[in-house]
């Protein structure tokens, strides 16, 4: 059974990551992407997906508001993609409708798709509508006071030789740009990931990482020395002995470290 999946998320990068994962799951076809509930509703009618990967918080019509509008004998299974905290997760666990917490792990995605496949085979449309109604009510009951997801990434899933490897951000020591890719240096491991350096800088907590060059980010805690490199140039020396050149644009921020100033100041 080939599953037709619609991805709904207002963040283009989030959609791209979900689509990339789905393409590596057997018998799954991505039939469309939408940035809000209104666009998603139109695509549901045109593309007739079996599954919707649905973000909850979006501008315009959100995930809560979209689900009650789904109707007909072939109503799709909903896999929520949520940034809600553990209270909402508990609400989901009490129901057969699945959820994915951001950032989404590949194994978790594959598991959710497998559950959706089972649901499609075993439950009729009316049962699925009742389950989704129950989940939405539970989420709304728990939504107040639930903390938002962290603004910055806690892990990356990097493709390597036909599989996805989890790289916790806490292990990353420094990052270097390589054309259209970045290389994540984590201890003795180095992982190549398709992303721009600007994009990576926006996904990492500036309290933990500092941009030292247009092609390099380093973990602040790894900097053990700032070294003169001649003609006013600087290098940062990491605790593992790696020396990373400092670009002129970033030199003043590095010198601020000597004065104990925060980069955010």
Residue 151's pLDDT is what? 65
- Dist. CA 9–CA 54, nearest whole Å: 7
- Of 38, 26, 85, 31, which is closest to residue 53 (Cα–Cα)? 31
Residue 264's pLDDT is what? 34
Cβ contact 83:102 at 8 Å: yes
- Dist. CA 216–CA 254, nearest whole Å: 13
Per cent of the chain over pLDDT 90 is 40
Residue 87's pLDDT is what? 42
Highest mean pLDDT among 54-63, 79-88, 176-185: 176-185
Residue 218's pLDDT is what? 96
Burial 147-180 (b: 16+ CB within 10 A, else e): eeeeeebeebbbbeeeebeebebeebbbbbbeee
The band of 66, judged by pLDDT with boundaries at 50, 70 and 90, is confident
- Dist. CA 57–CA 118, nearest whole Å: 27
Domains of the chain: 3-143 (3.40.50.2300), 165-258 (2.40.50.1020)
- Which strands, in side-by-side order, build the sheet including 223-230? 223-230, 233-238, 243-246
Cβ contact 172:189 at 8 Å: no
Residue 95's pLDDT is what? 47
Tokens describing residue 208: 């933990």
Cβ contact 200:158 at 8 Å: no
The band of 69, judged by pLDDT with boundaries at 50, 70 and 90, is confident
162/20: higher pLDDT: 20
Q: What is the mean pLDDT of residues 111-116?
A: 90
Q: What is the mean pLDDT of residues 19-32?
A: 94
Angstrom distances, CA of residue 116 to CA of 22, 51, 98, 121, 260: 13, 7, 8, 9, 52
Among 130-139, 156-165, 207-216, the range scoring the smallest mean pLDDT is 130-139
Q: What is the mean pLDDT of residues 246-265?
A: 72
């Amino acid at each position: 059974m080939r599953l037709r999946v619609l991805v709904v998320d207002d963040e283009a990068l989030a959609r791209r990551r979900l689509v990339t994962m789905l393409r590596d799951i057997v018998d799954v076809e991505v039939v469309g992407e939408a940035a809000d509930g209104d666009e998603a509703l139109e695509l549901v009618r045109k593309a007739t997906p079996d599954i919707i990967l649905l973000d909850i918080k979006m501008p315009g019509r959100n995930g809560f508001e979209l689900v009650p509008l789904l109707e007909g004998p072939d109503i799709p299974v909903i896999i929520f993609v949520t940034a809600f905290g553990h209270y909402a997760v508990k609400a989901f666990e009490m129901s057969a409708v699945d959820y994915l917490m951001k950032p989404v792990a590949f194994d978790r995605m594959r598991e959710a798709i497998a559950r959706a496949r089972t649901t499609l085979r075993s439950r009729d449309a009316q049962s699925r509508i009742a389950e989704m109604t129950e989940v939405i009510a539970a989420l709304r009951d728990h939504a107040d006071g639930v903390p938002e997801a962290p603004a910055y990434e806690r892990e990356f899933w990097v493709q390597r030789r036909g599989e996805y490897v989890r790289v916790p951000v806490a292990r990353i020591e420094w990052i270097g740009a390589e054309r259209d890719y970045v290389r994540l240096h984590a201890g003795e491991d180095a992982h190549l990931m398709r992303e721009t350096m600007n994009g990576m800088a926006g996904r990492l907590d500036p309290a933990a990482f500092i941009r030292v060059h247009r092609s390099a980010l380093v973990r602040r805690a790894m900097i053990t020395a700032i070294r003169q490199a001649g003609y006013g140039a600087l290098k940062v020396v990491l605790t593992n002995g790696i020396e990373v050149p400092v670009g002129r644009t970033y030199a003043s921020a590095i010198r601020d470290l000597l004065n104990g100033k925060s980069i955010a100041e």
